[in-house]
Amino acid sequence: MLPDIQLSRRGGVIEFGWGHPDLPLLPVAGMAEAAALALTRDGPHALAYGAEQGPGCLIEQLVTWLARREGVVPRPEQLFITGGVSQALDLLCTLLTRPGDVVLVESPVYHLALRIFRDHGLELAPVTGDADGLRVDALADALDALRRQGRLPRFLYTAPTFGNPTGATMPLARRQVLVALAQANGLTVLEDDVYRELWYDAPAPPSLYSLAPARQRGLAPDGGVIRLGSFSKILAPGLRLGWLLAAPDIVQRCVRSGMLDSGGGVNHFTAHVVAAFMALGLFDPHIEQLRGVYRQRRDALLAALTQYMPAAAAWQTPGGGFFVWVQLPEGCDSAALLPAAEAAGVAYVPGARFCADGGGARHVRLAFSLLRPDELAEGARRLGDVVRGAWCVVRGAWSVERGCL
């Protein structure tokens, strides 16, 4: 039988690799109610070719919803409905870049965004991050280096809030410096903000978009921040629905693209259903429920890592999102270790896949969103055993090298 969904799980293996929302948490009953409302209320309008910018019913809901969160009230002409962040990135690459162009990418960052950029023939210039997200001094250096080569990056891609894979969040002060640096250099910033609502300790700092001067948010043809939101993690990824907040001229460039002209607004029916879901008052309570469940899973994984990983491994507490980024002890290579881990019944994504700067060899990304607390504990135990075993070998080799054995 052909697969129905992307997610696949191997029997006997605890899969830390998939950063997907958990299936039992997808709001099936609420969506059924919302779909019925959309069809009775909007009739054939819900099933027609949609307005290129996205249906007014969803844009209106989003303006109100975002105004409560962004600190700035978006105007409808600053919003464009997308097929999720992935489609938005693909469309922006089509509109803003040509093959051979260079783009700046945070490192580490969401590895599948890098795939989309590579699909467009773009050259990736990495900007290294630390525990607080992308390093602004590294961005300044990267801009200087490109300027010396006479090259202009088309944009910077960053996920500054509960990022994938690190879970790191850029503090407010660094956000302000980043926005100022981008402004001074006429650099367009693509802010991938899919995890913003999934905070477990305290709400996220203001988005880069909201910190940008009004000129950059609303008017400037070049530079400025384009904020990418998605319903994938906070509602359901199968909806293939998200939004983009940007200067109206960027929205207009999206609206006027050939794909939208031919096909109309992206995922028009789904957008009607989500607008109805929001109108029914189901959205915020649903997100609140997700926070509760995922917070418990994050805490279960952190507690199990503390119990089972060797002391020489290290990680940070992610304030939100789906991931813990674990640094293995010195000498361990996460890609080389994966077959042994899988044989022991645990899987993860090796860190190098997220790093355009050649780093990440000692890191693993663990996703906790799909696993129950008991599975998280057992997975951490298995991983701890594998890492401890590998580390003993590494230390043994050192000891032999240094004549200690």
46 burial (CB, 10 Å; 0-12 / 13-18 / 19+) is: buried
Under rule CB under 6 A, residue 207 binds ligand PLP: no
Among 16, 18, 80, 110, binds ligand PLP (CB under 6 A): 110
Beta bridge pairs of residue 79: 245
Q: Least distance (Å) from ligand PLP to the CB of residue 19?
A: 5
CB-wise, 114 or 337, nearer to ligand PLP?
114
Quickly count: other Cβ atoms within 10 Å of residue 296's Cβ: 15
Our CB check for ligand PLP shows the closer of 210 and 230 to be 230
| Token pair in block for residue 42 | 């909007």
Does 188 interact with ligand PLP (rule: CB under 6 A)? Answer: no
| Phi, psi (degrees; rounded to nearest 5) at 95 | -85, -35
Helix, strand, coil shares, percent, the chain, to 5: 50, 15, 35
How far apart CA 50 and CA 19 sit, in angstroms, is 31
| Distance of closest approach, residue 54 Cβ to ligand PLP, in angstroms | 14
* Stretch of 26-34, 79-87, 122-130, 132-140 lying at the interface with ligand PLP (CB under 6 A): 79-87
Stretch that binds ligand PLP, among 5-13, 94-102, 229-237, 260-268 (CB under 6 A): 229-237
Q: Is the peptide bond before 373 cis (omega within 30 degrees of 0)?
A: no
Whether the upstream peptide bond of residue 108 has omega within 30° of 0, thus cis, is yes
Beta strand 224-230 with 242-245 is: antiparallel
Q: If binding is defined by CB under 6 A, does position 351 make contact with ligand PLP?
A: no
> Is residue 192 close enough to count as binding ligand PLP by CB under 6 A?
yes
- Give the interface size with ligand PLP as a residue count (CB under 6 A): 13
The answer to whether the beta carbons of residues 47 and 269 sit under 8 Å apart is yes
Site for ligand PLP in 132-161 (CB under 6 A): 159
Q: Is 86 in the site for ligand PLP (CB under 6 A)?
A: yes
3-state secondary structure at position 188: strand
**17 forms part of the interface with ligand PLP (CB under 6 A):** no
Under the criterion CB under 6 A, does residue 168 sit at the interface with ligand PLP?
Answer: no
C-beta closer to ligand PLP: residue 84 or 153: 84
166: left (phi over 0), alpha (psi -120 to 50) or beta: alpha
Q: Which CA distances in Å does 286 have to 21, 104, 132, 209, 367?
A: 13, 35, 29, 25, 21
Work out which of 164, 185, 216, 270 binds ligand PLP, going by CB under 6 A: 164
Q: Report, in Å, the least distance between residue 85 CB and ligand PLP.
A: 4
194 binds ligand PLP (CB under 6 A): yes
Instruction: Output the smallest distance, CB 278 to ligand PLP, in A.
Output: 17
The yes or no reply on residue 226 touching ligand PLP (CB under 6 A) is no
Among 21, 27, 55, 84, binds ligand PLP (CB under 6 A): 84
| CA gap 217, 230 in Å, rounded | 19
Q: How far apart are CB 195 and ligand PLP at their closest, in Å?
A: 7
Smallest distance, ligand PLP to C-beta of residue 196, A: 11
The residue sitting closest to ligand PLP, measured at its beta carbon, is 84
Q: Is 19 in the site for ligand PLP (CB under 6 A)?
A: yes
Quick one: 21 exposed, middle or buried, by C-beta within 10 A (0-12, 13-18, 19+)? buried
How far apart are alpha carbons 54 and 43 in whole angstroms? Answer: 17
Q: Which stretch binds ligand PLP (CB under 6 A): 10-18, 141-149, 150-158, 230-238?
A: 230-238
Q: Is 230 in the site for ligand PLP (CB under 6 A)?
A: yes
Neighbours of 359 (CB within 10 A): 16
Q: Which two tokens stand for residue 354?
A: 């997220």
Instruction: State the pairing for strand pair 156-158/102-107.
Output: parallel
Q: Given the rule CB under 6 A, which residues bind ligand PLP?
A: 19, 84-86, 110, 159, 164, 192, 194, 230, 232, 237, 242
